[in-house]
Amino acid sequence: PPLHWLAIAAVVVVVVVAVAASPTTANGPAAAAPSATDAAEDDDDDGGGGGGLDGVFPFRAIQLYNTVAGYLEYIFDIVIAPITGGVSNKKQVTSRVSYKKFQIIRVLPSDEDEVLDLEAMSEEPGVQVWMPIRLNKTADLVLPPSVARDVKQFLTQREINFVVLSSDLERSISKQNPKSPSLNQKSELKATKGHVMTWNRYHRYQDILDYLMYLSENYPHLVELLPIGKTIEGRPLKVVKISSGQTRENVVKPAIWIDAGIHAREWISPAVALFILRQLVENKSYRTLVSEIDWYILPMINADGYEYSHTVDRLWRKSRRTAANKSGRTLWDMSYGCEGVDLNRNWDWHWAGVGASQDPCSDTFAGSHAFSEPETRAVSDFILDHRDRIQVYLTLHSYSQMWLVPWSHTKKLADDYDDMMYLARQATEAIQKVHGSQYQLGTTPSLLYTTSGCSDDWAKGKAGIKYSYTIELPDKGMYGFLLPAEKIVPTGKEIFTGIKSIAKSILKINSMKEKTKLIG
């Protein structure tokens, strides 16, 4: 039919244009964390590879293939699919992503040239950066089997130190979480405990919701579930308020906010949030903390991405928003069909600045505008409604064992930097006394990279919460995002100890303020 010939002609034109426009050096998927160059204040990016990679990686053909394939998919979805009723393979693929024979390597650049070489290498197709590339600091890279050999050869030629942490990432993934209990075992757990939640495995979102419901039903004098909205795929977002309801006359109880799971693959963060929740509610020895402080805990912000990381792609980071809106798109817009927004780049504080991407295919895509996502809007609205009482904002991430203070978007220190550091230092010292774990303490730019649109900066800058922190949970890289489930309890214990230190400090500060008022 004439329509088919028209489509074929369009394909030919696109192929010719793609060949002519194909760049000399390929740009692979954006890394999970910005590179050292991206972290610079000027945030310049010429899009090129550089670093002496020409001739080492023959990726021009691969980039050309990807470019043409993307255009063909776009034409299929825009021109042919509406007529034939079909959909592209990209929309159909829901089978589990395999990381068989993918490797994790740790590199240590010792000079600026090596940093530039590694940054260029990290932009090649399929290479992921788990920890950012910094001078005299270790960086963790994930290599697909198609490039692993060439990458290691390249590092050897450049005399860049590296070690292989995992020779088969899929095998590491399979070892992280124990096998899910059978239906009979779940029924038995529910019959004996009232819920199926344990702290020796990573649970699915429905298990988490069921546990929250269990707490609210069995501890109604302490626990209240506050629905604050839904995810892009319709999953409920529920904040757990823990409060005894008691307060002294004319004294407004302070509140502490804790959230987790903003990045899907960081399974340890919601697990630790749930551990903290359990301690505050079910452990009577902490009743004083509950009677003097109200706690707002959101164990999971990115529920859609978290579920996707369980069912399809273990290393998925973003939300599940799709950039498939066809209106206004052209053949040159290759973001069609890319999915997800980095919810920790979507906050209305220096949104879309340094360290955030406006490319929907990037792992650090900041969204179409600040608070474009229902998840971040729901959380920010709730915090703003309660900001007169929330004195501490804590957001749990992984990995690297760091306690981070604002700002993230600039290397300039906050005016009350010393105050924030004082409480954080007490917390990290308390953590170390539990199992000996050492947490680095400082700003995000000083320890990792400069980035913008983050929740901790927004909580401090817009919501006015003085003590705003990001806690990067274990480990320091041996497991990375794949921390074994057996680490949930020890990690939960030490982090809860640090948070208790913060809570006690807040009570002391408030007590001193009250005494000052009385004296005045």
* DSSP label at residue 286: G
Helix residue ranges, H only, 416-487: 417-435, 444-447, 455-461
β pairing state of 103-108 and 128-129: unpaired
Q: Which of 428, 434, 437 is nearest to 469 (CA)?
A: 428
CA gap 107, 99 in Å, rounded: 20
**Measuring CA to CA, how many Å separate 45 from each of 27, 39, 42?**
12, 11, 9
Q: Contact at 8 Å (CB) between 357 and 381? A: no
Q: Give the gyration radius of the chain's Cα atoms.
A: 24
Helix residue ranges, H only, 323-414: 374-385
- Among candidate residues 217, 472, 486, 494, the one labeled active-site is 472
CA gap 66, 71 in Å, rounded: 9
472: annotated active-site residue: yes
Residue 418, preceding peptide bond in cis (omega within 30° of 0): no
> Does an H or E element contain 183, and which?
helix 183-193
Q: Contact at 8 Å (CB) between 129 and 151? A: no
3-class state of residue 133 by DSSP: coil
Q: Which of 454, 459, 428 is nearest to 441 (CA)?
A: 428
Q: Contact at 8 Å (CB) between 442 and 31? A: no
CA gap 357, 352 in Å, rounded: 7
Q: Contact at 8 Å (CB) between 483 and 409? A: no
CA gap 188, 104 in Å, rounded: 39
Question: How many Cβ atoms are within 10 Å of 191's Cβ, its own excluded?
Answer: 8
Question: How many Cβ atoms are within 10 Å of 36's Cβ, its own excluded?
Answer: 21
CA gap 313, 60 in Å, rounded: 27
Which residues are the active-site residues? 472
